[in-house]
Amino acid sequence: MATEDKNRATAAAILPLVGGAANVSSIAHCMTRLRLGLRDRSLVQDEALKAVPAVMGVVEDDTYQIVLGPGTVARVTPEFEKLVREGQESAPAPDPAATPLTAEELAAQGAEMKAARKAKNATPFKLFLRRIANIFVPLIPALIGCGIIAGLNGLLVNLEWLPSVTPALAAMASGFMALIAVFVGYNTAKEFGGTPILGGAVAAIIVFPGVANIEAFGQKLSPGQGGVLGALGAAVLAVYVEKWCRRWVPEALDVLVTPTLTVLVSGLVTIFGLMYVAGEVSTAIGTFADWLLSNGGAGAGLVLGGFFLPLVMLGLHQALIPIHTTLIEQQGYTVLLPILAMAGAGQVGAAIAVFFRLPRNESIRRTIKSALPAGFLGVGEPLIYGVSLPLGRPFITACVGGAFGGAFVGFFNQLGDAVGSTAIGPSGWALFPLLDGNHGLGATIAIYAGGLVVGYLAGFVATYFFGFSKDLLAEFNVSQEPAASTVAATGPAAPAVGTTGPDATAKEPAGV
């Protein structure tokens, strides 16, 4: 089957299981997930959806999220959008007589669902973090592409190969990072309800070389001072100035006055305030990260690697995105991501231990076998939501594995061997092409690989010996193969989640 046909077939298989085109109100995707806004959550067939071959799992947050994995989601989403558009255009007008519920009942049902969803997911802090993620997540593909080119260029420079090509590669790798503030400003204005191009215009002031001739707080400004944090603050300010202008400027003058005042007011505040303040904050972040790993070392790595999975479960990992980006902008790489990636290694080790501890549970073992390749590449949702989290204790022992892996990488950071990533997004083995450090690529790769091995082993040992109580083994180390008719109806992967505990729809994982 051609790739395009395969992607369309996946989209066609998903659509009826989420209630059809009429039930889809919005469509978006991140690095690994198709994110759907649904009008009626009760129409979704969760178990049948999990049984679709390309579906790795489902997560419910403010949107219904279908985990398809990196690469696949970017190809399936356009096909899904086409099918939804075709279905909505060809759908007949609704027949009120065919609806069994009254208008009052429908309104009450919708209000109840909306209230429950808001109570669970729409806390102000989570909404703020989600906005931050919406600003930075679209930048990840460019960060990855430029990061890999930067790594390739560094390798060629060290080997003294292709000296006529390496300057061109350096330009490709550095061009995006030189202007990342503009993209952050554009996305910020878009996310906060302003005109995106005005947000980009104000943020562009930060990277304009001419600011070197301006003095603020008794110091000459530097192009790029304040970085992405300054760009974010400048764009938010621009949105508020623009909204104020829209309220008070007469319509006849709006097209001239509003953009002028927006750029002028927010631009002056950016130059004579935000750039300096954001620059100090950015410097403090870099200094603190270096201090933490230089002095905390193994202890800091233990805490970061051990608690990252719980942060992911609570959605709090999104707060790290601007910090990663700031470190990449300042130092060329983030030293935090390789340590946090050890959480995925602990998850893989825990899943392998579960596989051996439950030899009779064909359902969970089949889920592990299908999800492990993605887990090694850093896509952890299928293992988290299909294996460790429903079982309970193995999720904790997976965190132990991540803690030991993080401690290993943190220890070498304390010895002076910085291990960093030139981009955010990938994890596991997929992070190898993005690694960078201060003592050569070979040493950096060796330390990161050692951390992964430690994470695998610690996660395996902790789970194998401490991940199961006698009651848990008695409950799950039995054959849970459904009858043939059930397999045909629900597919082979569904029982792993359905029989191991609550479904994985309460929290938002990484994806980020």
Residue 258 CB partners (closer than 8 Å, separation 6+): 242, 245, 246, 249
Give the total residue count for the chain. Answer: 512
**DSSP tag of 220:** E
Q: How many C-beta neighbours within 10 Å does residue 295 have?
A: 10
Instruction: Could you list the beta-strand ranges (E) of 79-232.
Output: 215-216, 219-220
Instruction: Please answer whether residues 266 and 241 qualify as being in contact, where contact means their C-beta atoms are separated by less than 8 angstroms.
Output: yes
* β pairing state of 435-437 and 419-421: antiparallel
**DSSP tag of 377:** T
Closest CA to 206 of 134, 147, 266: 266
Residue 453 CB partners (closer than 8 Å, separation 6+): none
Please list the residues that pair with 29 across neighbouring strands: 34
Q: How far apart are CA 483 and CA 154, in angstroms?
A: 57
30 in active site: yes
Residue 499 CB partners (closer than 8 Å, separation 6+): 363, 480
Instruction: Please answer whether residues 389 and 59 qualify as being in contact, where contact means their C-beta atoms are separated by less than 8 angstroms.
Output: no
For 418-437, the three-class secondary structure string (H helix, E strand, C coil) is CEEECCCCCCHHHHHHHEEE
Q: How far apart are CA 221 and CA 274, in angstroms?
A: 11
**DSSP tag of 344:** H
Closest CA to 349 of 370, 367, 376, 374: 376
- Taking each helix axis from N to C terminus, what angle separates 298-314 and 393-414, rounded to the nearest 10 degrees? 140
Q: How far is CA 271 from CA 216, 286, 415, 421, 442, in A?
A: 8, 22, 39, 31, 42
Q: How far apart are CA 256 and CA 270, in angstroms?
A: 21
User: What is the dihedral sign for C-alpha 120, 424, 408, 299?
Assistant: negative
Active site residues: 30
